[in-house]
Amino acid sequence: MGSRSASMHGMWSSRAVFIMATVGSAVGLGNIWKFPYITGEYGGGAFVVVYLICIALIGVPIMMAEILLGRRGRASPIATMKRLTREQHSSPLWTLVGYSGVLAGFLILSFYSVIAGWALAYVFDSAAGGLNGITADGAGQKFGDLVGSWQTLLLWHTVFTLMTIVVVARGVKNGLERAVTVLMPALFIMLLIMVGYAFIEGDFARGFGFLFNTDFSKVFQLCTGTPEALNCEFTGEPVVVAMGHAFFTLSLGMGAIMAYGAYVPDHASITGATLTIALADTVVALLAGLAIFPIVFASGLEPSSGPGLIFQTLPIAFGNMPGGQWFGTLFFVLLVFAAWSSSISIIEPAVAWLVDSRGWTRGVAAFAVGGLAWLIGIGSVLSFNLWSGEEYQLFGKTIFDLKDFLASNIMLPLGGLLIALFVGFGAGRQMALEELSISRQRLFDAWWFVIRFVSPVGIVIVFLNSIKAFG
């Protein structure tokens, strides 16, 4: 087992590398694929505001808590929680957070790799000129053809899972980290250019309004349709989804950030790192929204067209801009890298646990965990074709939707709730004080209040509200 100041899995060489890796984990399909499509499904502005509130009041404080637990425990999330419950003389039941995180990781990777597979398919299609001059109908048709073929989806799902396994087997800190330092800023610049394109060629005013005009009366309603013809019904679902997405996009509630926190140097500031990571993540999501919705409206598409949204809109932009063939290829390559640097963190908790508590080698652990996620992922592949029919759905959701809903909207927030309660009540104030080493007492007190009361109560209220609405 590692000592107090070093993890047996290795350490980040500096705080900057930790921030880069964690931004790599946070920024991924959640920002560029999921944020726009769920914002479209849940009606725009009101949803975005709830999401931003969740990031600030729940996400940021819990990210600080996860990093501090990781650094204190210096092991896989399960071993860390075991160690800290002993150190803090609290109930071993808190270790459940670690186990539920491992489970959530399997569920998430099992659909994440399928969507990353779509991006891989578009890399090759774009490079071959498949998007040149494409119309909105053509883009819809192309996407439909892709997801309609389970063989193609299975192929790319397999390729992406293997990519994830290979990097995790070699250790998270080698190789990919260096690549991410260059590729993340490149993705950022690319998004800025896409926003520029949307500004000139899209219906920017409408896209902007859709994202930022907040009609609070709709916050607790589920609205579908276009802004002119909205069809709304009362339900707590959008709020649950907005909160779930705050966890998903920041990689919180399942130990991924705790696992990365275990490799953080002793004296690095956790607060500063957290704010940087949360800000970068939020800006990328908003830019993605600004790039996509103006094209959605200019092309007469439905904002609520679901998981295919970016794959049906961005190709229209690439297909009709000068140099779009290469620009589009590069964009999808960068999207794949963003997904790759996230997927490795999704299985890191499980792999690190098999290594430090079960004595497996990293290679075998990575193959076992990735292999199982791959197997469960076949259900996600089939959700878009053979098993898309109603007879294969539960509560009106396909296997893909169910896995996403269960993991993102239920397991991650519950994991986050337990983490907040453990730090705030299960362990002592002294532990947090030592790890955060915030020099300004007031700032620490504010965080301490938020982590003990505001974040947990917020999570509970959102859940109760949805139970009321569903019931």
Interacting residues with ligand PFF (CB under 6 A):
25-26, 28-31, 108, 248-249, 251, 254, 256, 342, 345-346
Four-point Cα dihedral 335, 333, 339, 22, nearest 10: -80
CB-wise, 105 or 458, nearer to ligand PFF?
A: 105
Q: Do 328 and 197 contact (CB within 8 A), yes or no?
A: no
Q: Which residues are CB-contacts of 459 (< 8 A; sequence separation ≥ 6)?
A: 58, 243, 413, 414, 416, 417, 420
CB-wise, 63 or 147, nearer to ligand PFF?
A: 63
Q: Which residues are CB-contacts of 401 (< 8 A; sequence separation ≥ 6)?
A: 383
What does the DSSP assignment read for 396-458? TB-HHHHHHIIIIIIIHHHHHHHHHHIIIIIS-HHHHHHHH--S-HHHHHHHHHIIIIIHHHH
Taking the complex as a whole, the smallest distance from the CB of residue 159 to ligand PFF amounts, in Å, to: 18
Q: Which residue blocks in 299-398 are alpha helix, DSSP H?
A: 309-320, 324-358, 362-383
Taking the complex as a whole, the smallest distance from the CB of residue 248 to ligand PFF amounts, in Å, to: 5
What does the DSSP assignment read for 228-276? TT-EEEE-SHHHHHHHHHHHHHTT-SSSHHHHHHTTS-TT--HHHHHHH
CB-wise, 34 or 218, nearer to ligand PFF?
A: 34
DSSP assigned state of 135: -
Taking the complex as a whole, the smallest distance from the CB of residue 265 to ligand PFF amounts, in Å, to: 22
Q: Which residue blocks in 42-131 are alpha helix, DSSP H?
A: 45-54, 60-73, 77-87, 96-127
Taking the complex as a whole, the smallest distance from the CB of residue 184 to ligand PFF amounts, in Å, to: 13
Taking the complex as a whole, the smallest distance from the CB of residue 25 to ligand PFF amounts, in Å, to: 5
Taking the complex as a whole, the smallest distance from the CB of residue 32 to ligand PFF amounts, in Å, to: 8
Closest CA to 109 of 69, 156, 148, 164: 164
Tokens of 386: 């053979």
| Enclosing H/E stretch for 278 | helix 270-298
In this structure, which amino acid lies at residue 404?
A: D
Taking the complex as a whole, the smallest distance from the CB of residue 453 to ligand PFF amounts, in Å, to: 25
Tokens of 51: 């999401």
Q: Do 78 and 353 contact (CB within 8 A), yes or no?
A: yes
Residue nearest to ligand PFF (CB): 30
Taking the complex as a whole, the smallest distance from the CB of residue 468 to ligand PFF amounts, in Å, to: 28
Taking the complex as a whole, the smallest distance from the CB of residue 139 to ligand PFF amounts, in Å, to: 23
In this structure, which amino acid lies at residue 463?
A: F
Taking the complex as a whole, the smallest distance from the CB of residue 101 to ligand PFF amounts, in Å, to: 8
CB-wise, 249 or 466, nearer to ligand PFF?
A: 249
Q: Mapping DSSP to helix (H, G, I), strand (E, B) and coil, where does residue 1 land?
A: coil
In this structure, which amino acid lies at residue 116?
A: A
Tokens of 417: 């709730």
Closest CA to 335 of 73, 102, 118: 118
CB-wise, 256 or 298, nearer to ligand PFF?
A: 256
CB-wise, 59 or 458, nearer to ligand PFF?
A: 59
Taking the complex as a whole, the smallest distance from the CB of residue 85 to ligand PFF amounts, in Å, to: 22
What sign does the CA torsion over 29, 394, 457, 236 have? positive
